[in-house]
Amino acid sequence: MTRLGALLDRGSSALGLTADRAGLLRTGVLLGLLYLAYAVAYPEREVRILRYAFGWGGTLLLLLLWLRGAQQIVQLERDRAVPWKLLLGAFVVFAALTVGPIPFHSTDLFAYTNTGHLQAHYGLNPYVNTAVDVPGWENDPLFFSYWSDTPCVYGFLFALITRGVASLGGGDLATTLLIFRLMNVFVLAGTAWLVISTLRRHELPRAGLAAFTLLWSPLVLLHVIANGHNDILMALCILIALRLALDGRWLGVVPAILVGALIKHIALALLPFVLLWLVRRHGWRKAAVSTVVGLVPVVLCVLAYADGFADARWADIAADITTPRNSLQAALVYPYEQLVGDAGTFRHVVRIAFGLAFLTFFGLRWLRSARRATYTSEALIEDALTVLVVLMCIASSLWHPWYVVMFLPAVFLLPPGHRIRRLALWIAAFQMIAFTHLSKARVLDAVVMLALPMWLAWREQRAKGGPTQESEA
């Protein structure tokens, strides 16, 4: 990172991207122009030269500007001169530029519209029915063909959210997409505010860097706003739980985790550590009360879809979320598939091996924490984020670049040199490569976008020594 930083310093001087407020403003202007270019030109994907120009040139420029901006904000924090109004004002502009274009990197947003429209306008259960069950669905502009036979794979609360958004959209596709994105704009802004306020309240460093990463990052803006992914909703729930733990407010910790799981089920992995913290810090009675309160939204959301439980397509849902794609598991399964052909048995063996390895890691981690003389909120945060990063980036059979948003906001609650925080930032930087055509390279994408940043983070940590050294950007 030191060599990269020196190279960025030299290359930025010619553009006036100095490590001060004026230089950060110039970085913001250049980022804004790139976001405008993506909004205007990139959706024209049938023009091959534009696909390659934005895929490689645009990604490289965005990545370099993001890294340079991180350098600038770190220096401004050292000088105690973080321009908060500039950070917020630029975010408003960036959000306006990225909220409008057609989703260009993922079709997940159309899966949300399918799920919501199926409920709001046809009264069907999205865990039982799909678009193909609607006569003449091909003529309905709110049904996207790619997701036409896929049931809802998200939690019950998110299914309810899609129904509400589809109702507000009134059957108009553009309006419905806009509402989803505007919702994410406000959730992202709230997430950033919560991170900054937590860091300030508990006198933790690098609030400026956290704000810059969440509000200016191309990875976050293009995935959360332009492509409308729902990961930021779960990220906010996890962040709320960890903030409440830091503040010693025990009642809402379990509810926050369970609400997050009602959006994406992966949040349940944090529950054993949260319950351990509650019992150790506040006793069994308060842990039970928090759990009971948390079960209220779970029961309400389950009841909303209870009629279709017997007929729900649980097998299809399980297959969708466990099929190896873009992950380290996929990097093993895909070559076997090409060489041998039928990889069904091998796929199961790999999935079981990764699952057992994670469960062993998880169990040992939990037992180690349970044996501690005290279990602090800081220890809970470290355990929760370690488990989440290992589960998503290593153990999961499924990986997409926007998954990094699930844990990126909360990693700023860790000390600046902590190995999990640095690993998360390394992975976040490499996920920008997904905007290039390398994301379609099967095995190579997992190697370059996951294995490589893990190896680089490990090398850096080994060279520096210790899990919490003070160093950044």
Q: What is the mean pLDDT of residues 41-53?
A: 64
The pLDDT confidence band at residue 319, using thresholds 50, 70 and 90, is confident
Given a cut of 80, whether residue 42 has pLDDT beyond it is no
Average pLDDT, the chain: 90
The pLDDT confidence band at residue 467, using thresholds 50, 70 and 90, is low
> What is the Cα 381 distance to its own chain's centre?
17
Count of residues in the chain: 473
CA atoms within 13 A on the CB side of 92: 5
Euclidean distance between the first and final Cα of the chain, in Å?
7
- pLDDT score, position 471: 39
Give percent of the chain with pLDDT exceeding 70: 92
| CA 126/CA 192 separation, integer angstroms | 32
Q: What is the mean pLDDT of residues 366-390?
A: 96
- Cβ within 8 Å of residue 357, ≥6 positions away: 395
Q: What is the mean pLDDT of residues 406-424?
A: 94
Q: What is the mean pLDDT of residues 60-73?
A: 92
Q: What's the Cα-to-Cα distance from 128 to each of 132, 145, 157, 309, 365, rounded to whole Å?
A: 12, 17, 16, 8, 38
- pLDDT score, position 345: 86
Q: What is the mean pLDDT of residues 400-422?
A: 94
The pLDDT confidence band at residue 113, using thresholds 50, 70 and 90, is very high
Given a cut of 70, whether residue 473 has pLDDT beyond it is no
pTM: 0.92
- pLDDT score, position 2: 55
The pLDDT confidence band at residue 46, using thresholds 50, 70 and 90, is low
* Widest distance between CA atoms in the chain: 65
Q: What is the mean pLDDT of residues 437-464?
A: 84
Give percent of the chain with pLDDT exceeding 90: 70
Identity of the highest mean pLDDT range in 311-325, 349-363, 448-462 = 349-363
Q: What is the mean pLDDT of residues 31-48?
A: 75
Q: pLDDT tens digits, residue range 275-305?
A: 999 999 999 999 999 999 999 999 999 999 9
Query: What tokens does 108 get?
Result: 């997940």
Give the residue among 263, 127, 110, 105 at the shortest CA–CA distance from 180: 110
Q: Tokens 């199926």 label which residue? A: 118
The pLDDT confidence band at residue 374, using thresholds 50, 70 and 90, is very high
- Cβ within 8 Å of residue 294, ≥6 positions away: 254, 255, 256, 257, 258, 259
Q: What's the Cα-to-Cα distance from 202 to each of 30, 278, 413, rounded to whole Å?
A: 34, 20, 10
- pLDDT score, position 343: 75
- pLDDT score, position 338: 82
- Cβ within 8 Å of residue 175, ≥6 positions away: 168, 169
Instruction: Map residue 398 onto helix, strand or coil.
Output: strand
Q: pLDDT tens digits, residue range 4-38?
A: 556 666 666 667 788 889 999 999 999 999 988 88
Q: pLDDT tens digits, residue range 235-278?
A: 999 999 999 999 999 999 999 999 999 999 999 999 999 999 99
- pLDDT score, position 469: 43
Given a cut of 60, whether residue 386 has pLDDT beyond it is yes
Given a cut of 70, whether residue 182 has pLDDT beyond it is yes
- pLDDT score, position 4: 57
Q: pLDDT tens digits, residue range 416-438?
A: 889 999 999 999 999 988 888 77
Query: What tokens does 112 get?
Result: 């949300």
Q: What is the mean pLDDT of residues 180-201?
A: 96
- pLDDT score, position 340: 82
Query: What tokens does 409 get?
Result: 């906001």
Q: What is the mean pLDDT of residues 201-210?
A: 92
Query: What tokens does 18 get?
Result: 């100095």
With 0-12 CB in 10 A as exposed, 13-18 as middle and 19+ as buried, what is 96? middle
Q: What is the mean pLDDT of residues 446-471?
A: 77
Which range among 210-224, 296-310, 450-464 shows the weakest confidence by mean pLDDT? Answer: 450-464
> What is the Cα 11 distance to its own chain's centre?
31
Instruction: Map residue 325 onto helix, strand or coil.
Output: strand
Which range among 117-121, 203-207, 228-232 shows the weakest confidence by mean pLDDT? Answer: 203-207
